Amino acid sequence: MTEHAAHRHHQHTAPASDGAPHTGHGEAGHDHGAMVADFRRRFWICLPLTIAVVVLSRHIQMLVGLPGVLAFPGSAFVEAALASVIFFYGGWPFLAGLSGELRRGKPGMMTLVSLAIVSAYVYSLAVLAGLPGDVFFWETATLILVMLLGHWLEAKSVLGASGALQALVRLMPATATRLGEGSAQEEVPIAALRPGDLVLVRPGAKVPTDGIVTEGRSSMDESMLTGESRPVDKAVGARVVGGAVNGEGALTVRIERTGGETYLAQVIRLVEQAQATRSRTQDLANRAAAVLTWVAIGVGGGTFGVWLLLDAPLAFALERMVTVMVISCPHALGLAVPLVVAVSTELTARNGLLIRDRAAFERARALQVVVFDKTGTLTEGRFGVAAVVPLGVGFDEAAVLRLAAGLESSSEHPIAKGILRGAEARGIVPPAATEFRNLPGEGARATIEGVAVEVVSPGTLRRRGVELTDARVAEEQAAGRTVVFVTADGALAGAVALADVVRPESREAVRQLRALGLRCMMLTGDARPVAEQVGRELGLDEVRAEVLPHQKSEVVQSIQARGLTVAMVGDGVNDAPALAQSDLGIAIGAGTDVAAEAADIVLVRNDPRDVVAILALARATYARMAQNLAWATGYNVVAIPLAAGVGVPWGILLTPAVGAALMSLSTVVVAVNARLLGRQGERRLAALRADVARSDTAAG
């Protein structure tokens, strides 16, 4: 187990000169858990031994003004024996790592640490055997102890940052209550479920796998799956996702998908894919860490040689070399990017923002234009009431809409459903209708409260010889909206204008994107008047209408030809070519179907503000990467000369133990900065979704 843990840690930290990613960062759970336990155990065992070595050290006794007080015959050999235990037991992970690095011909972190502790330990043994000089036993022991502590804390940070997959897996329950004939119930493992099975989901229980509600009404907590903070109402016919937590009511669910076809399985695959994709920033960090390793070896050897040429004592020259080796370990540099990647992957996966291509996600920071599809993306893809125009004496907007809703309550036509939704949104209760009859090619007729009510098309009115001169109606028609007319006992009562409903959150999304300095455009196959009206309503910079599906990618290409970096946001199959052509393809509103092959990023919720969220997180992620890289490289620029002894004329002298502490501190700084991304990102998303909730409440 020890060798395994050491080997895995070596893989995790060693810089890869060929630009290969640090594979250990993507392998949370067992490996990092074993490393945390291993380093923790070694630290606590070595701690009392190190204290004993420090107490027995002649240098420490002289430093505190008690020379020889604790000395006894053979104390030097006891000190050496304790230091040897620390060296072989506490230093074993580093020595094992050295072996692995040398076998692959890629010296790195473990090589530097091992060279430092081996040099100090062997030299101390030689002094104990009679070589002139001073022993380094206490320095070696404290160096190993500090390195164990630093690696323990670092492995713990990585374990916490890389838990996205484990968190997702834990969402699934182990068993389900399957319903049989009659009222029979049996508790079965999740793996035993098959499509078509009926399962009972009790209040407070987790949904075992994806399905459709066949009986009952409740609400679902889907926050850990999609980031939706509010409970989602579920009734007969509603889709439910495995891992969601049921609310107050019992539900009967018919299983639709199991195993690798479920929503959660697809999300896990995307997370794994994101973790495996290469990062250009990581490649840069890997190359820099590889160079720094050789610089450290060269500077360490050069420091040793220069001090000997300056007639410094051998012990002093060796101490400078050891300090350079330790303090210049590229640990923080190797962790600068992977920790941020792990945190951002976990954050986005937990909030329904699924990254398929890590490199594309990094490119999002440099976007200049966001191009939206219209139907189903910026709009709801269904009719809604845009305006009500009273035309008859004694009728106001509410009265006109009330009559129209009462008649249309008996119809299944898309226009009828739009009128009913409009009435419901305004708190209008449709009156009962009798003698309902469709008028083919004209509209519908019914009797409401003794009044003959009709909802008819403009063409029907023209055929009846009714001339329409109302400017408000003409304006709605010019905007490309569908207008129907309501009559009462043959007299014109009013008009209802319907249009594809613009999502209320679309306005805020466009506003926030423009605040980030991005241009917002729309591509649609819809008619120009309709598209231009939506564009004006949302404040878009540019609108392209009547664009055929195969032409969308050509339009994106033409925008790129202007030297602009483009993100394409769409929800349909017809958007796939444009998604693939763009610099960043974003599939929005994927719901339970997250396998959007043409997209670089999949947004589970049908909320355009999630586009803002993913772009803001991309910028924040890159900023954290840049901060970590700047800290890691800047630290080495300052620390290496001090370790080599440049500050000696001014009384500045770093010991190996202090060097180890500073190196570990730099790693902790990088880890803490990466974790701050998660906290700030959660706050940003929470604020964004709070705005969504407020806008929904206002709209209701």
What are the beta bridge partners of residue 248?
none
Q: Are strands 369-373 and 566-570 parallel, antiparallel or unpaired?
A: parallel
Coil/strand/helix, residue 219: strand
How does DSSP assign 397-410, residue by residue?
Answer: HHHHHHHHHHHHTT
Angle, helices 314-327 vs 656-699, to 10°: value is 10
Among 381, 370, 390, smallest CA distance to 530 is for 381
Residues whose CB falls within 8 Å of the CB of residue 79, separated by 6 or more in sequence, listed in order = 53, 56, 57, 135, 137, 138
Q: How many CB atoms lie within 10 A of CB 250?
A: 14
For the record, the structure tokens of 380 come out as 């709801």
Measure the CA–CA gap between 447 and 404, rounded to whole angstroms.
11
**What amino acid occupies position 174?**
A
Q: Which of 373, 571, 600, 610 is catalytic?
A: 373
Q: How many CB atoms lie within 10 A of CB 574?
A: 15
Q: Which residues of 431-441 are buried (b: 16+ CB within 10 A; e: fewer)?
A: eebeebeeeee
Measure the CA–CA gap between 695 and 693, rounded to whole angstroms.
6
Report how many helices (DSSP H) and strands (DSSP E) the chain contains, helices first.
24, 22
Question: 373 an active-site residue?
Answer: yes
Termini Cα distance of the chain: 60
Residues whose CB falls within 8 Å of the CB of residue 474, separated by 6 or more in sequence, listed in order = 468
Measure the CA–CA gap between 206 and 190, rounded to whole angstroms.
12
**Known catalytic residues?**
373
